[in-house]
Amino acid sequence: MAGRIEDYALIGDMQTAALVCRDGTVDWLCLPRFDSHAIFAGLLGTEEHGFWRLGPAHAADAQPPSAARRSYRGDSLILESEWDTPRGTVRVTDFMPPRDGAPQLIRIVEGVTGRVPMRSALRMRFSYGRVVPWVHKHEGRTVAVAGPDSVWFDTEAETYGKSLTTYADFTVAPGDRIAFTISWEPSHKRPPALPEPEQSLEATESFWREWVEQCTYHGPYREAVIRSLITLKALTYAPTGGIVAAPTTSLPEDIGGVRNWDYRYTWLRDAAITLSSLLRTGYREEARAWREWLLRAVAGDPENLQIMYGIAGERELGEAELDWLPGYEDSAPVRVGNGAAHQLQLDVYGEVTEALHLAHMTGLARNDYASLLQLKLIRYLEDHWQEPDEGIWEVRGPRRHFVHSKVMAWVAVDRTIKLIESGDADGPLERWRELRDDIHRDVCEKGYDKERNTFTQSYGSRELDASLLLIPQMGFLPPDDKRVIGTIEAIQRELSTSDGFILRYPTEGQSEGVDGLPGDEGAFLACSFWMADDLAMIGRVDEARKLFEKLLALRNDLGLLAEEWDPRLKRQVGNFPQAFSHVPLIDTALRLTASGAYGG
């Protein structure tokens, strides 16, 4: 059985990523890209679907021991795990070097004290655990081949095969260092170069040290901010600048339920807010790369803007179910692809325009097509902002006039007006000022419940929605407006869990809810960070700080967050780690630091 979601560590090379459990098992790895088929899919099934365990030897009928300690080496994505055994202490260092050739996962075993018997058990299964590869020796190297893929396994340790698994049994003493590497290469090509684990480790550490040095944030929450920034960088696909929402698919939002989605794609919304956090902490190169990705993905067709694309800008992300995988803790179905790609979500126009506006305001070199794209997006919104849509949460029920979508349409128009007023673009200024006023008036008249003094999820509804917390953050209304304060307080009353975290919207258990799905979900971590932001904006800074620090305490021991927190099970749920959780963590830290609202 896979570990709890928070038991995993992330390692990656900015083209793909692996999840490593506390017991030294790699249960998830897609090669060569984030969205490729997994060669280790044990996370969503059993060991029969692929894994790589490296740790102290243990009895065949016993559970593998968990590491006594683990941490990242400084401000890097190099994982160090240590086991204390009756025979001594051993350390395993796991990392994926930034790619220069074949993708590699490198694991270095180091003896610390005593003499510790160790075992490596490598079971590669291609196509998400469905295909058993042909494993054989080639010029002294072990290679697994199936169809277009080959994975090469290199180590100085003696290996042997048993039960369709490659093993190595060995003992380490103080000072011993034994490396294990897997490398991917298309099966029709020549073998990848022999790995150089120690040189790769040094280069990987240097890469992360130099990257972190660019960070301009030096406030009291630096440790949490740096770890979140590293995680966001790890979720960036370096060749194109696309940013995945998470490196996993189908980790459930409701354990045992059907809310299981593939997040290994670039949502314009998630990528845009990630861009804003990177810009505000000094990372302009990532912003430039994402802007170029956006312009390529949208191309000359902004009228058919998708809410998400593949990491290289692919448009077709057809959704399918992998029925041979039982799912994480029997949470089925396991899905690949995402059928929400062709939904209408009007808020995306606002998020993209806000990101382009921020890039412009922070001095990113002007790109004329970016300005042209912004103008084309507004011309589309002129004709379509009054339509119902599926909204920020990608509901699979009927379309509605979601208040958040209308607010973000207002944001798109407002930021474009500012671009024109700055003299960097030309457009029908007066007409769009009228459009901005029309949208604002429409929202305030149709999306506001006067009796309860709160905005609502959609026009004419009584349900609340945590996305309404973004109204003051986007500048739609000032924080001290009574309607803003009323909305914040209503969400606290109606969408808070028993431990004070925030749900996205009401769900109906086994009945079909507003999102068209049965089942419940956990507290949405991004929404809880938004609440902390709003509380700070309306002057309740002590309350904001306490909520923020409660949220920080939900991170696992390595500082990582999934999408949601299950208040009943007291555990993380949803895809992991999740960009949409780490971005608002950074934003709230910046806001609280600026306000002086921090402890210590």
Per-residue pLDDT averaged across 564-591, rounded? Answer: 96
CB atoms within 10 A of CB 400: 19
Mean pLDDT for the chain overall: 93
Amino acid letter, 18: A
Strands (DSSP E) contained in 498-582 are 523-524, 564-566, 571-573
- Cα angle for residues 24, 97, 556 (degrees, 5° grid): 45
Name the nearest CA neighbour of 3 among 556, 568, 580, 564: 556
- Rounded CA separation 432/423 (Å): 15
Name, in order, each residue with C-beta under 8 angstroms of 221's C-beta and a sequence gap of 6 or more.
552, 589, 592, 593, 598
Q: Which stretch of DSSP H or E encloses residue 291? A: helix 284-298
- The b-or-e profile of 552-590 (16+ CB within 10 A means b, else e) is bebbbebbbbbbbbbbeeebbbbbbbbbbbbbbbbbbbb
Kindly tell me if the per-residue pLDDT of 132 is higher than 80: yes
- The β-bridge partners of 584 are none
* Confidence at 597, pLDDT banded by 50, 70, 90: low
* Confidence at 511, pLDDT banded by 50, 70, 90: very low
Tens-digit pLDDT profile for residues 99-124: 988 999 999 999 999 999 999 999 99
pLDDT at 514: 61
Longest dimension (CA), the chain: 78
pLDDT at 516: 58
Task: Compute and round to an integer the Cα radius of gyration of the chain.
Answer: 25
- Rounded CA separation 416/401 (Å): 23
- Rounded CA separation 140/564 (Å): 46
Tokens coding 355: 């990101």
Kindly tell me if the per-residue pLDDT of 50 is higher than 70: yes
- Cα angle for residues 585, 587, 591 (degrees, 5° grid): 115
Name, in order, each residue with C-beta under 8 angstroms of 327's C-beta and a sequence gap of 6 or more.
44, 45, 250, 252, 260, 333, 334
Q: Is the dihedral of CA 319, 571, 562, 524 positive or negative?
A: positive
CB atoms within 10 A of CB 361: 13
- Rounded CA separation 251/327 (Å): 8
- Cα angle for residues 64, 66, 69 (degrees, 5° grid): 155
Distances (CA, A) of 27 to 43, 54, 269: 5, 12, 29
Question: Exposed, middle or buried: residue 445 (CB in 10 Å: 0-12, 13-18, 19+)?
Answer: exposed
Instruction: Provide the phi-psi class of 9: left if phi over 0, else alpha when psi is between -120 and 50, else beta.
Output: beta
Q: In this prediction, what percent of the chain has a pLDDT beyond 70?
A: 97
Name, in order, each residue with C-beta under 8 angstroms of 280's C-beta and a sequence gap of 6 or more.
358, 362, 586, 587, 590
Least confident of 182-191, 247-256, 310-319, 516-525: 516-525
CB atoms within 10 A of CB 258: 16
Residue 370: strand, helix, or coil? helix
* Confidence at 368, pLDDT banded by 50, 70, 90: confident
Q: Which stretch of DSSP H or E encloses residue 371? A: helix 368-384
Tens-digit pLDDT profile for residues 337-358: 998 888 889 999 999 999 888 8
In contact, 95 and 106? CB cutoff 8 Å: yes
Task: Give the β-pairing of 9-12 and 335-336.
Answer: unpaired
* Confidence at 596, pLDDT banded by 50, 70, 90: confident
Tokens coding 600: 């210590």
Question: Exposed, middle or buried: residue 63 (CB in 10 Å: 0-12, 13-18, 19+)?
Answer: exposed
Per-residue pLDDT averaged across 126-139, rounded? Answer: 96
Tens-digit pLDDT profile for residues 463-488: 999 999 999 999 999 999 999 999 99
Distances (CA, A) of 585 to 240, 273, 545, 591: 25, 12, 12, 10
Distances (CA, A) of 173 to 59, 117, 170: 21, 9, 10
pLDDT at 517: 64
pLDDT at 513: 56
